[in-house]
Amino acid sequence: MKESLDKKKLIKKVPGKKIIPKPPKFNIMWLYGIIIVSILAIQFFMSGSSARLITYQKFENEMLKSGDVEKVVAYKQEELVIAEVYIKKEKLNAEKYKDSQGKNNFSVSGSNPQYYFTDGSFESLQARLNNSQKETPENLKVPLSYESRSNPLSNIFWTIIFPVVLFALIWIFIMRKMGGGAGGGAGGQIFNIGKSKATLFDKESQVNITFSDVAGLEEAKQEVMEIVDFLKNPKKYTNLGGKIPKGALLVGSPGTGKTLMAKAVAGEAQVPFFSLSGSDFVEMFVGVGASRVRDLFKQAKEKAPCIIFIDEIDAIGRARGKNSMVGGNDERENTLNQLLVEMDGFGTDSGIIIMAATNRPDVLDSALLRPGRFDRQISIDKPDLVGREQIFKVHLQPLKLAEGVDPKKLSAQTPGFAGAEIANVCNEAALIAARKNKEAVDMQDFQDAVDRVIGGLEKKNKIISPEEKKIVAYHEAGHAIAGWFLEHADPLVKVSIVPRGVAALGYAQYLPKEQFLYTTEQLSDGMCMTMGGRVAEDITFGKISTGAQNDLERITKLAYAMVTVYGMSEKVGNVSFNDQGGEYNFNKPYSDKTAELIDSEVRTLIDGVYQKTKALLKDKQEGLEALAVKLLEKEILFQSDLEEILGKRPFDNRTTYDEFVNGIEGGDQSIIAENIHTEPVGDSTEPLNSDTAEIK
């Protein structure tokens, strides 16, 4: 399954749609601006006197001594004393006072002071004024008065107007947030916190993804298309007495295209499509999840017939009663209960279809999976050879390809890849070609991209001591020898000791045969091939290193699976302890005595694998030495180099690649030595998976 194409937009406006002009909305910011301008205007026009500043010498010589001053009023302003000078009204017509006429704002002439000067303190001002009038008769002396003055409008503004305006602004802001504005969305508003967060796709905004963009899983697509066809042509089914499925659950591994399938349904259904995630119901407040479920179905019933898609439904659909606190309130369980009621509560003619996607069906509640809620469980698995070829064709369309790029070969070289991984390979190939300044993307770029995606970035400049490099060479040679001479092991067709990724000092490539069932012999040979690196170190150097940590981990996991899950141990018997609920279950489903028997059988199995691998490598020790020396010399060996050193593989088993690309009959495996699939080794070769041959 593929992801959405890069060059396509998910949502587009429907052409020809009639646009209704919306009336202009009043912006409350204009009101705020008017209030501020009004306050500033009042302060300007009512700001008292417009007296001119003069010096004390001018005041004394031109005004005080000539007897033109009526009075002097002093008041404190910050650190200075301001002395306002009032000229007698009959003296204002004099030529020297012409500059004081017409300067007052809306005030009667003479009622305000005409001049002012400053002084340091009241005492200093009083002393200077007395000194200037010491020869003046007492009845003619200019009086000096003191006032405690402040701006009355400023006091009113800061004590009354400003708090009221500030409170009004805060109140309006809170109410707008609580109301959610004109949109009414859930967002973070208080009153809308219980509203559904579902995104609605309807006829006005459609999804530009169709079933033609979905490749690789025809069976799953057919089941989903049937649901869409029911919505388009309901009489075709109702005439026969059929009813539309109430729900469909898409189940599959990550990257297989579950969400893409839902997008295709939204693009094809031509009915309202509600899309949301399971985590959208989760909130810290009690009752919010259940409220959002109710609101979602309320909106859906108004838009019926419609489809609701819940992605990652395991966020709210986990089985109830597990890992819950005693006496506590489980909000997730309340949300699930409400979802169960809504899904099975509406009538069959309501026209609401529930679609959901998850990659964890084992943790879902059984009540959610029963018929009547999710009538269909649609499995979306990783694509097979033919499916991968179709997916490659889709993702290769936007690329500029060179001649010789064959999606059939690419699909055979990428076993176990999901649609998302295939899309990543195609994108990496284009980036690698651009990095090399190529005009088109060729086959070698795709091979490098596969190596890059699985094995990590190649680190040619990583400094490794000669001793470590020699250990890595013999380690990888051990894997190669074991894979070459064991019948049921996947033959390694490329070996490298060039470091890749974070910790991989070497890696190997092989073409596993695509199959679903494995015999005991096949699993045993796979374990022997994985053990080849550790045994090669022991035989060659007489000591072992930490490089086989990943090998031993996977061997141990597979050995326990063979004994406890697949029933491949004679002493333990044909039993399986594969506990699906093991995530929450801390109790073993068997006794301590059985546990000791299982441990004993696992050790016996691994010891047998070790002895078998050791005998094989001792018998082929000359080839091991030659292969390791060649690997130290060239760093990368292909299948042709292995055939030159070890000879033809003694088994005539054709690989899946050979059969798929070259046909059922004929075909030479040597022609694909460089067209191979990469398997990463985190310091060693990647061993066989416990139940499939998929790539990890």
Residues with active-site annotation: 476
Interior CA angle at 345 toward 343 and 348, to 5°?
85
SS3 content of the chain, % helix, strand, coil (to 5): 45, 10, 40
According to DSSP, the β-strands at 306-311 and 273-277 are parallel
Rounded (10°) CA dihedral 657, 660, 666, 670: -20
3-class secondary structure, 144: strand
> Any bridge partners for residue 353, and if so which?
307
Q: Which amino acid is at 629?
A: V
Tokens at 358, concatenated: 């998850």
**Is there a binding annotation on residue 98?**
no
Question: Please, which residues have CB within 8 angstroms of residue 470's CB and are 6 or more apart in sequence?
Answer: 628, 632
> Please, where are the H alpha helices in 59-214?
122-132, 152-156, 162-179
CA distance 186 to 197: 6
**Is there a binding annotation on residue 488?**
no
**Is there a binding annotation on residue 479?**
yes
**Is there a binding annotation on residue 375?**
no
Match 């009023």 to its residue by tokens.
73
Question: Please, which residues have CB within 8 angstroms of residue 398's CB and are 6 or more apart in sequence?
Answer: 5, 6, 7
**Is there a binding annotation on residue 253?**
yes
Give pairs for 168-175: CB < 8 Å, separation 24+: 169/32, 172/28
Give pairs for 38-43: CB < 8 Å, separation 24+: 39/157, 39/161, 42/153, 43/153, 43/154, 43/157
The H or E element that residue 358 is part of is strand 352-358
Contact 406, 428 (CB under 8 A): no
Interior CA angle at 623 toward 618 and 628, to 5°?
105
CA distance 612 to 686: 19
Q: Got the DSSP string for 229-274?
A: HHHH-THHHHTTT----SEEEEEE-TTSSHHHHHHHHHHHH-S-EE
Sheet containing 144-147: order of strands:
52-53, 115-119, 80-87, 69-77, 144-147
In 282-300, which positions are buried (b, 16+ CB within 10 angstroms) versus exposed (e)? Answer: ebeeeebbbbbbbbbbebb
According to DSSP, the β-strands at 69-77 and 52-53 are unpaired
How far out from the chain centre does Cα 684 lie?
32
Task: Mark the binding-site residues for Zn(2+), compressed into ranges.
Answer: 475, 479, 551
Task: Mark the binding-site residues, compressed into ranges.
Answer: 252-259, 475, 479, 551
